[in-house]
Amino acid sequence: MSDERDSPIDFPSRYDRKIHVRDLRTGMYVTRLDRDWLETPFLLQGFLIHSANDVEEVAKYCEYVWVHNTEIPFAKDADMLSQRHASQNSNALFHVSTPIAEEHSIVRKLFSETSKYTQTMMEDVRLGRAIEEKKARVIVDKNVQSVMRNPDALAWMTKMRSEDSYTAEHSLSVCILALIFGRSLGFKEPQLSNLGLCGLLHDVGKIRVPIEILNKPSRLTDKEMKIMQAHAAHGRKLLSESKNMYEGAIDVAYCHHERPDGKGYPQGLPSEDISLFSKIISIVDSYDAMTCERVYAQAKPSTEALKIIYEERGKQFDENLALAFIQTIGLYPPGSIVELHNGCVGVVVETNVQSRHLPKVLIMRDEEKLPCTHRLVDLATTLAGELSSQYQIKTIQRDGYRNIYLRECFEKGYLTSL
Ligand SMILES: [Fe+2]
């Protein structure tokens, strides 16, 4: 296999040493693989070998890996974000305080409350009314609390779209995804409250863009593109006119289309002049736009959107944040409809931080693809042999596959009775 493979982790090469998988030992920190990380279940930011089982697992996918060279102090000058993210998997940041079914019960009400609020807020702006920061923050903070308790319930909700009022639904999803991302970056509640507000309000300027341009199914002309891009300036103006508006939200509304390579708009700022929150919202915004159905583009599967973010790292997106985001979302986010190797089909309801490719799945179709009694299966139990490895995920499918609809799961309360 090639040595020239792109590394998902760009620590300077002098920190890494290439070894054969048979030379891997407990305690070594793997920083790079000899194949595309997307083809493997491993953590993008690198991972520690805890046991012989871990070595076996790596050997299933790779012949060679790069490990951290312990003779050199670890990544003294490497980016803090990468280090923090890599070390988080074992700490309390991933602690979940509420069981998923319980959180889904809370989220059923919360999501519809937030959704109604967002649509009303957008309508108010359309009618020329100012946004009340306090009201928006109260709603955002309820979402912060939910994400802190168990992020998988709200994550699931971002997958459910009604295809009307795109801007309001998109704003809400960006708010939720930004909170989930911020939580995994180690942000505390006051920071999350600010970040969530930025997510909710980032595209408010689109209210000033004519609907024919927003919903145009074909390519925009240069003139139309300029009108569309003006939503950043409209957003800044609208939010500046709102009393006591959080400054960060004004900045993000104006700068969330800037790019680290300086090719963004409206100002073409260099990376160092783009705020952290703008860089975060830029990634989340693009991910959500790519993964949901729009009038001019089909929804991309999550993995494809993550791959694009990976390819655009350091260009359209901040490099370290892009990597951290990919890690946060993982291959099978909650709300993914998945088919297992044994033919069963179900929906991912809860992620497994230790083995992200083995989430908890609500099985809704049996081996013959026929409707069956719903049962929650923890795919991680395949590791210990409690469950056959045929229960591992084979593919991701679209909403509606084998008549499984996410909206139906929500409306019929399947997720609250797990
Ligand atoms: Fe935007």
Instruction: Report the separation in Å between the CA atom of 236 and the middle of ligand 1, taken as the mean of its atom positions.
Output: 11
Instruction: Report the separation in Å between the CA atom of 228 and the middle of ligand 1, taken as the mean of its atom positions.
Output: 9
Nearest Cα neighbor of 134 from 236, 249, 235 is: 249
User: Which residue is it, tokens 């308790």?
Assistant: 149
Instruction: Report the separation in Å between the CA atom of 232 and the middle of ligand 1, taken as the mean of its atom positions.
Output: 6
**Identity of the amino acid at 174:** V
Q: Quick one: pLDDT at residue 227?
A: 94
Between CA 291 and CA 202 the distance in angstroms is 18
**Identity of the amino acid at 314:** G
Instruction: Report the separation in Å between the CA atom of 213 and the middle of ligand 1, taken as the mean of its atom positions.
Output: 14
Instruction: Report the separation in Å between the CA atom of 124 and the middle of ligand 1, taken as the mean of its atom positions.
Output: 19
Q: Which fold has domain 100-329?
A: Hypothetical protein af1432 (1.10.3210)
Q: Let me know: does 344 contact 366? Beta carbons within 8 Å.
A: yes
- Kindly report the pTM of this predicted structure: 0.78
Instruction: Report the separation in Å between the CA atom of 332 and the middle of ligand 1, taken as the mean of its atom positions.
Output: 26
Q: Map residue 274 onto helix, strand or coil.
A: coil
Instruction: Report the separation in Å between the CA atom of 314 and the middle of ligand 1, taken as the mean of its atom positions.
Output: 19
Q: How far apart are the first and last CA of the chain?
A: 44
> Tens of pLDDT along the chain (418 residues)?
333 333 333 333 444 678 899 888 876 777 778 887 777 777 665 676 767 888 888 998 899 988 765 432 222 223 334 444 444 444 456 778 899 999 999 999 999 999 999 999 999 999 999 999 999 999 999 999 999 999 999 999 988 876 667 788 899 999 999 999 999 888 889 999 999 999 999 999 999 999 999 988 899 999 999 999 999 999 999 999 888 899 999 999 999 999 999 999 999 999 999 999 999 999 999 999 999 887 777 888 888 899 899 999 999 999 989 988 988 898 889 999 999 999 999 999 998 877 778 899 999 999 999 999 999 999 989 888 888 889 988 888 988 999 999 988 988 888 887 7
Instruction: Report the separation in Å between the CA atom of 204 and the middle of ligand 1, taken as the mean of its atom positions.
Output: 8
Instruction: Report the separation in Å between the CA atom of 9 and the middle of ligand 1, taken as the mean of its atom positions.
Output: 29
Structure tokens at 318: 């901040």
Instruction: Report the separation in Å between the CA atom of 255 and the middle of ligand 1, taken as the mean of its atom positions.
Output: 9
Instruction: Report the separation in Å between the CA atom of 260 and the middle of ligand 1, taken as the mean of its atom positions.
Output: 16
Instruction: Report the separation in Å between the CA atom of 169 and the middle of ligand 1, taken as the mean of its atom positions.
Output: 13
Q: Which helix (H) or strand (E) holds 338?
A: strand 337-340
Q: Quick one: pLDDT at residue 357?
A: 81
| Peptide bond preceding 266 in cis form (omega within 30 of 0) | yes
DSSP, res 294: B
